[in-house]
Chains A and B, each alone.
Chain A
Amino acid sequence: MRALAVTAVLLALLLTSLPLAQSPAPIGVVSPAGRRVLSTAVVNDQEYVALDDVAAFVPLTLREDRQGGLSITVRGKTIVAPRDRALVSVDGRVVALPAPLTRMGGRWLAPVEFLPRALALVAESRIEYRRGSRLLLIGNVRVPRVTTRVEPVGSGTRVTMEIAPPVGMMTVTEADKVMVRLDADALDVAPVTGTSPVVTLVRAEAPATITVGIAPSAGDIRAAASNNDTAARVVIDIAAPVQAPDVSAAPAAPAAPALVSKGGLQTVVIDAGHGGDDAGVRGSGGTLEKQVTLDVARRLKTVLESRLGVHVVMTRDDDRAVSPDERTATANNAKGDLFVSLHVSASPAPAMTGAAVYFMRLDREGEETRREAGAQSLALPVLGGGTRVIETIRWDLAQARHVEHSGRLANLLAAALEGHVPMTPQPVQAAPLRVLAGLNMPAVLFEMGYLTNSAQEKRMTADEGRTALVQAVYDAVNRFALAGGR
């Protein structure tokens, strides 16, 4: 009896799934909620989606009428699909479809084209279907198209990526690969054209990274990025393989640099200065401080996470106003090991240029707080017996305990910047800074340059300039980590 029941259930499942049996690869659905998939089935050479699956992305209700047709209600508007007719009426407007909606196995199926042609007209948010890449975009998501071309140039190889529309991006070059991380929700990647023996792979990884694998035998790798109004471009030039030296005569080559140790660092907090109504400094060319700081912060997060393996917390990841106390609380609650606040400068003197690094300067009150911090310890009983000693310190002067390490971090950052970024005559300064005062971790405020200087404004808006800033912060954090966070 039990076997019969199981057989009946399996048979029912088989019958139900028959119309969807001939299934191509599912459609990728990208929405602000994340990435999901939507199964499809091909019936009579027409690809269909099940409307109850679509309801998971776009709330809709189905009601069959007496003539065998279907009414679909979305946000109070109705789509009427007459029986066996390759059209629907969308809120009174007739829309042609390649095939009628059909009922199979207890489910209503609609041609894939129903989504952009009919459902998009009544849905609350954007619905766009990209047939070539089989992506369904719902809502306000950024999914740039990426086309990659591999071609020989001289004796070397060039990999060119076109990204349209342009988005923020970060390129990370390592010994055997170049990673291009895009500020996007997903990628619409076209097949790669061309091949080269030194390009071992071109792979897209979720959510929005493209990795170009490069053979170990390849020569120097140079990656450059540029932007215009319609597209961004990354050009990776790979020099021809270097002739192998006579190993019997030459000393052993140094090993390729491995991923660095993250030392005692677990969590790094990056603070993009200003935001929302508080735009910060406005450059002579119109560049806003809040935009520069956020973009550099995002790039820095990518680099620190991918190369140091640390957890990066951002005090803001979008264009919103955040109070100093909120920034401090975010960092302290995340138990950050390090805090870097990003800013740019302004001056009434347009010629003024250079970067500077600040750390907290304590006044008499702060010095007293620091001296008393160790003395004011509380021994609290804990469950299971014993005690736990807790050092107390004023919450608004928590930085007092860390000023020495903060100063060291500031000096490391200034040293990493030297030679790569113009510096002010006093590149490291101590000052009473609001965002640093309550931080319970080594912390610095990095003024990346003067937006009121047109040359520096150009540099800070260019990919190359921002990459140099990110690289310097990365180097400083890495050295600080190698020293055990001291």
Chain B
Amino acid sequence: MKRTFLFGLAGFTALALMAWGVDAGLQYLGRTASPDAPVAPAPPPTPTAHITATLFYGARDGLLLHPVRVEVRLAEGPVAQGREIVRALLQPPPAPYVSVIPAGTTLKAFYLTSGGDAFVDLSADVSAKHPGGTHAELLTVYAVVNTITTNLQGVQRVQLLVDGKEADSLAGHVDVRRPLERDTAFVRQEPPPAVVQ
């Protein structure tokens, strides 16, 4: 009985040593096959970092834009952050606000120039699905322009593009041929509301 136990213990030890050897060998092979892969162990999962951005949405009465503070995912650098902010603006807004940008509009490109202009390239839906009317078009344009110039330091003007091209207007009224500056004439002047999570 004692002998059987000793044989079993020796076998288990041998199997454990073999398993350790195979695992060490695989790790070595893996390192040799991907020399660029990070060697540091993965950090423990943490909550995604956010910034609080001011986005401009329409009011239910359709009159003016409302500045609404919304948490937007933190990104590396102003260009990536600008993309995140515009993508957040294109999402359905929190209640009780309404979006003034046609549903389905997507961001195709976003970049900044050294002169402080942001280029925002939106999909053709922003034009094709627009309900029309000068006021509604002004709200659409300045929701984007004010959102970017408010949140990205150093950006003074926004040039809108539609489907990669310069456009006369989005719905036949507002001149978007040149970069536009921030305009608060279409914004409700009131204390900023609480942050919307």
- A contact residues vs B (CB 8 Å cutoff): 273-274, 278, 280-282, 289, 323-324, 343-349, 351-352, 356, 358, 361, 363-365, 396, 424-425, 429-435, 437, 445, 447, 450, 452
Residue among B63, B172, B174 with the most chain A CB within 10 A?
Answer: B172
Contact check, B133 vs A447: say whether CB atoms are below 8 A apart: yes
Q: Is the interface of B mostly helix, strand, loop or mixed?
A: loop
Sample (27) of A-B pairs whose CB atoms are under 8 Å apart: A324-B168, A344-B133, A346-B132, A346-B136, A347-B131, A347-B136, A348-B58, A348-B100, A349-B60, A352-B63, A356-B134, A356-B135, A363-B178, A424-B63, A424-B135, A425-B63, A429-B185, A431-B134, A431-B138, A431-B174, A432-B174, A432-B180, A434-B173, A434-B176, A437-B175, A445-B173, A447-B135
Once bound together, how far apart are the Cα atoms of A137 and B135, in whole Å? 45
- B contact residues vs A (CB 8 Å cutoff): 58, 60-63, 98, 100, 131-136, 138, 168-169, 172-178, 180-181, 183, 185
Once bound together, how far apart are the Cα atoms of A431 and B180, in whole Å? 11
Once bound together, how far apart are the Cα atoms of A282 and B183, in whole Å? 28
Contact check, A430 vs B131: say whether CB atoms are below 8 A apart: no
Sample of 8 more A-B contacts, CB < 8 Å, known A281-B133, A452-B131: A280-B172, A347-B136, A351-B62, A356-B134, A361-B183, A396-B177, A434-B177, A452-B133
Give chain B residues whose Cβ lies under 8 Å from the Cβ of A281: 131-133
Contact check, B63 vs A434: say whether CB atoms are below 8 A apart: no
Contact check, A445 vs B168: say whether CB atoms are below 8 A apart: no
Determine the residue in chain B with the shortest Cβ distance to A425.
Answer: B63
Q: B173, B177, B178: which contacts A435 (Cβ < 8 A)?
A: B173
Determine the residue in chain B with the shortest Cβ distance to A366.
Answer: B178
Q: A280, A343, A434: which contacts B168 (Cβ < 8 A)?
A: A434
Once bound together, how far apart are the Cα atoms of A456 and B88, in whole Å? 35
The smallest beta-carbon distance between A352 and chain B, in angstroms, is 4
Contact check, B63 vs A430: say whether CB atoms are below 8 A apart: no
Determine the residue in chain A with the shortest Cβ distance to B130.
Answer: A346
Known contacts A343-B134, A363-B181, A273 near B172 by CB under 8 Å = yes
Q: A348, A445, A452: which contacts B134 (Cβ < 8 A)?
A: A445
Once bound together, how far apart are the Cα atoms of A437 and B173, in whole Å? 11
Known contacts A274-B172, A324-B168, A432-B180, A351 near B134 by CB under 8 Å = no
Give chain B residues whose Cβ lies under 8 Å from the Cβ of A431: 134, 138, 174, 185
Q: B58, B174, B180: which contacts A433 (Cβ < 8 A)?
A: B174
Once bound together, how far apart are the Cα atoms of A437 and B178, in whole Å? 12
Give chain A residues whose Cβ lies under 8 Å from the Cβ of B61: 349, 351-352
- 10 smallest CB-CB distances across A and B, nearest first, come from A349-B62, A346-B133, A345-B133, A347-B62, A352-B62, A434-B175, A281-B132, A346-B131, A432-B175, A434-B169
Once bound together, how far apart are the Cα atoms of A445 and B172, in whole Å? 12
Once bound together, how far apart are the Cα atoms of A356 and B181, in whole Å? 23
Q: B175, B176, B185: which contacts A430 (Cβ < 8 A)?
A: B185
Determine the residue in chain A with the shortest Cβ distance to B98.
Answer: A348
Give chain A residues whose Cβ lies under 8 Å from the Cβ of B169: 324, 434
Determine the residue in chain A with the shortest Cβ distance to B138.
Answer: A431
Give chain A residues whose Cβ lies under 8 Å from the Cβ of B60: 349
The smallest beta-carbon distance between B104 and chain A, in angstroms, is 15
Give chain B residues whose Cβ lies under 8 Å from the Cβ of A445: 134, 173
Q: B100, B135, B175: which contacts A345 (Cβ < 8 A)?
A: B135
Give chain A residues whose Cβ lies under 8 Å from the Cβ of B185: 429-431
The smallest beta-carbon distance between B78 and chain A, in angstroms, is 22
The smallest beta-carbon distance between B61 and chain A, in angstroms, is 5
The smallest beta-carbon distance between A414 and chain B, in angstroms, is 15
The smallest beta-carbon distance between A235 and chain B, in angstroms, is 34
Give chain A residues whose Cβ lies under 8 Å from the Cβ of B62: 347-349, 351-352
Once bound together, how far apart are the Cα atoms of A358 and B175, in whole Å? 13
Give chain B residues whose Cβ lies under 8 Å from the Cβ of A289: 132
Residue among B98, B173, B175, B176 with the most chain A CB within 10 A?
Answer: B173
Contact check, B136 vs A345: say whether CB atoms are below 8 A apart: yes
Give chain B residues whose Cβ lies under 8 Å from the Cβ of A424: 63, 135
Contact check, A347 vs B132: say whether CB atoms are below 8 A apart: no
Give chain A residues whose Cβ lies under 8 Å from the Cβ of B58: 348
The smallest beta-carbon distance between A286 and chain B, in angstroms, is 15
Contact check, B173 vs A343: say whether CB atoms are below 8 A apart: yes
Once bound together, how far apart are the Cα atoms of A324 and B63, in whole Å? 26
Give chain A residues whose Cβ lies under 8 Å from the Cβ of B174: 431-434
Once bound together, how far apart are the Cα atoms of A347 and B171, in whole Å? 13
Contact check, B132 vs A280: say whether CB atoms are below 8 A apart: yes
The smallest beta-carbon distance between B51 and chain A, in angstroms, is 28
Contact check, A358 vs B131: say whether CB atoms are below 8 A apart: no
